[in-house]
Structure 1
Amino acid sequence: MVIENEAIDKRHLRSVITREKLLEAAKEVFVKEGYQKTTISQIIKKAKVGYGTAYVHFEGKDDILIVLMEDVMQQFYQIAETPFFPQTKEEAEEIIQTQAYSFLKLAEKERPMMRVFHQAIGFSTAVSNNWRKIQTKFIQGISKDIAYSQQSGIAGKGLNHEIVARAWFYTNEMYLWEIVRDENLATVEEISKTITSIYTSGLYK
């Protein structure tokens, strides 16, 4: 029984290592070649694993890219999940500006892979659908924070928190992609400060 368990553990470890090799190889190939030119064959060759073994883990390059996208987005989720319990407009503005800055700064840091995601969203239905799920997750979190502010009396109650949340997310997303494409005309500090000021002055009392 012990020998059997050891064999299972070794197989599992080999499986984990193979999967990680494929993901690491995919990062390199995607960044170098771009989404469209990357093929699953290139990734498998770079990872130095067998074709049959590779397809046990992933159905194709889109499947791999979605895993890589989720890995990167976990860092963005951590920013979005910053505890949000402000007691004043000033506290809310400080938290929101810090989040916006961190969000856009992370886009700058992760630019190589974010560029690949941006390309893929325009060509792959699977990746595009996954990005919509990511958008929805962010918007739901923002909406929850706005609802809290409205209930606590520091934000205007006359605004639909879901609509406001979508507007705030898409504003950040627009600048995120500009930064990813290296098209931003201002620093991350200036962008985050400006958009936060506009957003909070319209929402908070």
Structure 2
Amino acid sequence: MTRVHVTLSAAAVIAATIAGPAAHAQLPPPAPPVLYSQAPIPGSYTPVGPPIHSSAVHSRWYLPGYGGYGGYGYGGYGYDPYAGSAFEMPVVVPPLVGAGGGPAQATLRPLNDTAQLTIDFPAAATIKVNGSAVAGERATWVLNSTPRTTGELVKFAVRAEWTEDGRRVEWERSVEVSAGDRSHSTISFGTPVKTEKTEKKAEKTEKTDKIEKTEP
């Protein structure tokens, strides 16, 4: 009878070879992840159901309602072991008005009205409005302000000149019109325009009157 000497290492190899597939078959398959969704009760979660088995693929998409970005895709289900609670849509809150959180209410009033002043002169006239000359010469002028808040007072400082009976006359006036209103004025006459010649003549006449008054 022949004796066979078997070492411990050889015995281990033979045992592994004999066990072969049976040994690997005893290992349980990895459990698929369980997907949870937010339940009606705050702070609790309920399982949605077993996902479809597929190889795990790392992805960078976002699935609303299941928390977080990234994670792994399992047959169309999103799973992230580090995800928190369900995603909450941000709410845009308008700034406070008149309480330090935004501009005061007066600055938010719409500038959707204008003040209008119409002036009829006896003849075609040139005008200046608030110190600025307006191009053109006409008998009827329609003046509009820039957009203002309804009810705001707008000042029109108007100076006009035209020819009347062969001489230049002028008219000057400041008119206030509320934004949203319309004002119409008709001018019948003006006063003679003072020139250097007329001013010197007036000064000479005034001096003559003073001399005549001082004579005994």
Interval of TM-score (by shorter of Structure 1 and Structure 2): under 0.3
The structure in which a higher percent of residues are strand is: 2
* Higher gyration radius (CA): 2
TM-score (normalised: structure 1): 0.25
Instruction: Provide TM-score, normalisation by structure 2.
Output: 0.25
- State the structure with bigger RCO (CA 8 A, min sep 6), 1 or 2: 1
The structure with the greater share of residues assigned to helix is 1
